Amino acid sequence: MSDFTSDFWAVYIALITLVSIIACAVLLYAYSARRVAKTGEGDSTGHVWDENLSEWNNPLPHWWMWLFYITIVFSLIYLVLYPGLGIYGGAYRWSSQQQYDDEQAQAARQYGPIFDKYLKQDVAAVAADPEARAIGQRLFLNYCAQCHGSDAKGGRGFPNLADSDWLYGGDPETIKESIANGRLGMMPPMGAAVGNAENVKDVANYVRSLSGLPHDALRAQRGREKFAAICAACHGADARGNPQIHAPNLTDSVWLYGGSEATIIETITKGRSGQMPSHKGFLDDGKIHLLAAYVYGLSAQPQK
């Protein structure tokens, strides 16, 4: 691996870059000065197509040539001032990371006092503040809407944050923890444990019966025994889930991946794996606090 991080590659990149620019200048000069021997027909090269379409030996327009030369000079000046030649950082020592850090620092100086003001308040109180909710909504649209939707109602595999159903908990501190540290939810494949395809289908029908969905009563009766022997260990004997291990309630009408027979069979057979990434790496405590207040206010009744 060290072969790819040695100084050789920096020199190699720098040489390739400079040789390419110089080659462009040489090629431009050569073709702008090149002449083809005349054939007695003026400046024609003697090549004719379609009876009367002739190729003429005219030089490139001077304005076009000079524009090209200007771009070459500009590229050399740019490479002196900015990174582009291997590990050479340029006279200005500019980097995208440094620019990002400077912009973040400037934003912190400008908006930091606003976030600090709300950080000192209780999440429920912040959720009841219209101005804070507006800021929280903008943060949500920037950082959360890609998965949970602009209305926070989620989609297949992404939970609805606007209802009162919470797998990990809907209290302010738990929401803050979810945003900051992320979540990793996984159900292992249980197809082999349940048995053959018919057994899996029986369990799927039993699960559908728990929430009042249409099902085959005979299959549901057979699936009940399998569920009690295998699935109840996580979801509970009453199938209402286990908050301690974040096993979902199967008796309500909330389905993260869908409640059709085929989807439930797929879930049992193949399992499910979902991850919410940690946001504490690029969101400070103030933004996480405001985001948590906004999400909390979507499903809870904020204090007035």
Of 253, 261, 252, 200, the closest CA to residue 226 belongs to 200
- Same domain flag for 285 and 149: yes
- Same domain flag for 163 and 237: no
Residues sharing a CB contact under 8 Å with residue 44, sequence separation 6 or more, in sequence order: 38, 54, 55, 56, 57
pLDDT range class, residue 17, cuts 50, 70, 90: very high
Residues sharing a CB contact under 8 Å with residue 122, sequence separation 6 or more, in sequence order: 172, 303
Residue 125 structural domain: 103-182+277-299
pLDDT range class, residue 65, cuts 50, 70, 90: confident
Number of domains in the chain: 3
Percent of the chain with pLDDT over 70: 92
Q: Is the pLDDT of residue 148 over 90?
A: yes
Range of lowest pLDDT (2-16, 57-71, 79-93, 116-130)? 2-16
Cα–Cα dist 12/61, whole Å: 35
Strand, coil or helix: 165: coil
What are the angstrom distances between the C-alpha of 162 and each of 21, 182, 287, 298?
57, 18, 19, 5
Neighbours of 100 (CB within 10 A): 10
- Same domain flag for 239 and 266: yes
Q: What pLDDT does residue 303 have? A: 41
Q: Is the pLDDT of residue 5 over 70?
A: no
Average pLDDT, the chain: 89
DSSP-derived letter for residue 50 is: T
- Same domain flag for 63 and 35: yes
Q: Is the pLDDT of residue 71 over 80?
A: yes
Tokens of 89: 């950082």
Cα–Cα dist 156/176, whole Å: 23
Q: What pLDDT does residue 1 have? A: 47
Q: What pLDDT does residue 104 have? A: 87
Q: How much is the average pLDDT of 193-200?
A: 94
Neighbours of 268 (CB within 10 A): 25
Q: What pLDDT does residue 36 have? A: 52
- Same domain flag for 162 and 190: no
Tokens of 173: 């501190």
pLDDT range class, residue 304, cuts 50, 70, 90: very low
- Same domain flag for 136 and 121: yes
Q: What pLDDT does residue 42 have? A: 53
- Same domain flag for 111 and 158: yes
| 31 located within any domain | yes
pLDDT range class, residue 3, cuts 50, 70, 90: low
Q: Is the pLDDT of residue 32 over 90?
A: no
Tokens of 264: 């439930």
List the CATH number of the domain containing 174. 1.10.760.10
Neighbours of 9 (CB within 10 A): 13
Q: What pLDDT does residue 49 have? A: 85
Element (H, E) at 138: helix 130-143
Q: How much is the average pLDDT of 142-158?
A: 94
- Same domain flag for 171 and 283: yes
Q: How much is the average pLDDT of 269-295?
A: 93
Cα–Cα dist 148/163, whole Å: 12
Bridge-partner residues for 53, per DSSP?
A: 49
| 90 located within any domain | no
Cα–Cα dist 123/119, whole Å: 8
- Same domain flag for 137 and 150: yes
Range of lowest pLDDT (10-19, 44-53, 80-89, 253-262)? 44-53
Q: What pLDDT does residue 302 have? A: 45
pLDDT digits (tens, 9 = 90+) for 198-233: 999 999 999 999 999 999 999 999 999 999 999 999
Does the reported pTM lie above 0.75? no
